[in-house]
């Protein structure tokens, strides 16, 4: 980048992002795992479901998506007429990487009597091969509307799938993917922390393995964990998810104490999502200035992927009866 093109710094950087946001008629969407400066400048912060809903509804011309690529792809699938920029195109996700579309297609073909209920943390190609997308905040509501005798493939997160399978006593064929961030929490260190703070409840994201989730007083999505942080009786909470979410807790609830669950080394640095961390304020500024890096999706693929996302948006309302499922799911070509 040449000197004239270098992003400004400090207050000027914030002022320039604000100016570009107005000039471009842009909305800045951010996930709770983004750094505090990005969370503070965003128009909206949310979990994967809320950000999808906002992307589908906004009347902005540009969506600057501060999150990972599958989230920005989802915004483009739902709002193709908008320009969607992602500050760093390398902001991927280990779950998406674990599920190559051609292997997922072969898995589906080997189980033609199963529907594919797929976590939103996957590629657009895998969404196009799926029947219904779920997020961690919508998965339980959606699963409850699927008839008990319907066989299910769940991918790519085996921990979220395993958690749902145990909680609802439903067998599911699980794709073997994991989130490298939630996988890094240590049960031994968590129990040591619990000994230090015996009255502090534990809130965990369902991407955590059973060794963590089984000790949790609350299991839920990022927005669910935030709600639990507001509602629980007590003054200290142990948080087993990506630590940047604690920025919102500390802002809203300064009287309470939030402690990140530890990794194997006894601190929680290994639980910072390395993909989310690629987005910075400087890259957000460049994305708004140049409208690059920009998400582009081939139209035929987008339309196929949108079906499973539309099914999610409708089923997440919780009002579709089991007998009406066929109307909502038009089966993907597995």
Which residues contribute to the site for ligand 13P (CB under 6 A)? Answer: 47-48, 121, 135-137, 179, 205, 207, 221-222
In sequence order, what DSSP letters do the residues of 296-307 get, joined into one string? ---HHHHHHHHH
- Under 8 Å CB-to-CB from 326, ≥6 apart: which residues? none
Q: Contact region for ligand SF4 (CB under 6 A) — 54-62, 247-255, 271-279, 281-289?
A: 271-279
State in angstroms the smallest separation of the CB of 250 from ligand 13P: 18
Stated as kind and residue range, the H or E segment containing 22 is: helix 10-24
Does 245 participate in binding ligand SF4 (rule CB under 6 A)?
A: no
Contact of residue 180 among ligand 13P, ligand SF4, none (CB under 5-8 Å per partner type): ligand SF4
Give the one residue of 52, 118, 121, 186 binding ligand SF4; rule: CB under 6 A. Answer: 121
Contact of residue 123 among ligand SF4, ligand 13P, none (CB under 5-8 Å per partner type): none
Contact of residue 94 among ligand SF4, ligand 13P, none (CB under 5-8 Å per partner type): ligand SF4
- Under 8 Å CB-to-CB from 143, ≥6 apart: which residues? 117, 134, 164, 168, 170
CB 298 within 8 A of CB 108: no
Stated as kind and residue range, the H or E segment containing 116 is: strand 114-119
Distance CA(128)–CA(305), nearest Å, equals 4
Cβ-based nearer residue to ligand 13P, 20 or 63: 63
The Cβ of residue 89 has, within 10 Å, a number of other Cβ atoms equal to: 16
State in angstroms the smallest separation of the CB of 92 from ligand 13P: 11
Tell me the backbone φ, ψ of residue 116, rounded to 5 degrees. Answer: -105, 110
Does 88 participate in binding ligand SF4 (rule CB under 6 A)?
A: no
Q: Which residues sit at the interface with ligand SF4, rule CB under 6 A? A: 33, 68, 93-95, 121, 179-181, 207, 242, 273, 275-276
């Amino acid at each position: 980048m040449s000197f004239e093109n270098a992003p400004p710094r400090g207050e000027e950087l914030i002022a320039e992002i604000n100016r570009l946001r107005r000039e471009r008629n842009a909305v800045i969407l951010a996930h709770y795992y983004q750094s505090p400066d990005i969370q503070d400048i965003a128009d909206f912060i949310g979990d994967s479901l809320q950000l999808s809903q906002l992307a589908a509804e906004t009347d902005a011309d540009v969506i600057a998506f501060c999150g990972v690529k599958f989230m920005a792809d989802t915004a483009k699938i739902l709002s193709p007429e908008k320009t969607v920029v992602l500050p760093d195109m390398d902001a991927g996700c280990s779950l998406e990487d674990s599920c190559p579309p051609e292997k997922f297609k072969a898995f589906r073909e080997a189980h033609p009597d199963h529907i594919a209920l797929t976590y939103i943390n996957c590629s657009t190609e895998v969404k196009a091969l799926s029947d219904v997308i779920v997020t961690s905040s919508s998965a339980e509501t959606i699963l409850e509307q699927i008839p008990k005798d319907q066989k299910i493939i769940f991918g790519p997160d085996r921990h979220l799938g395993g958690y749902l399978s145990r909680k609802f006593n439903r067998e599911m064929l699980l794709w073997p993917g994991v989130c490298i961030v939630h996988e890094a929490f240590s049960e031994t260190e968590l129990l040591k922390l619990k000994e230090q703070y015996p009255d502090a409840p534990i809130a965990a994201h369902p991407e955590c393995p059973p060794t963590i989730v089984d000790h949790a007083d609350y299991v839920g999505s990022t927005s669910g964990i935030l709600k639990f942080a507001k509602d629980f009786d007590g003054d200290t909470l142990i948080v087993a998810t990506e630590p940047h979410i604690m920025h919102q807790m500390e802002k809203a609830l300064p009287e309470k104490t939030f402690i990140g669950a530890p990794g194997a080394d006894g601190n929680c640095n290994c639980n910072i999502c390395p993909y989310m961390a690629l987005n910075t304020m400087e890259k957000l500024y460049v994305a708004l200035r140049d409208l690059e890096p920009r998400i582009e999706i081939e139209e035929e693929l987008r339309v196929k992927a949108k079906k499973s996302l539309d099914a999610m948006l409708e089923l997440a309302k919780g009002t579709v009866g089991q007998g009406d499922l066929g109307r909502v799911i038009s089966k993907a070509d597995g």
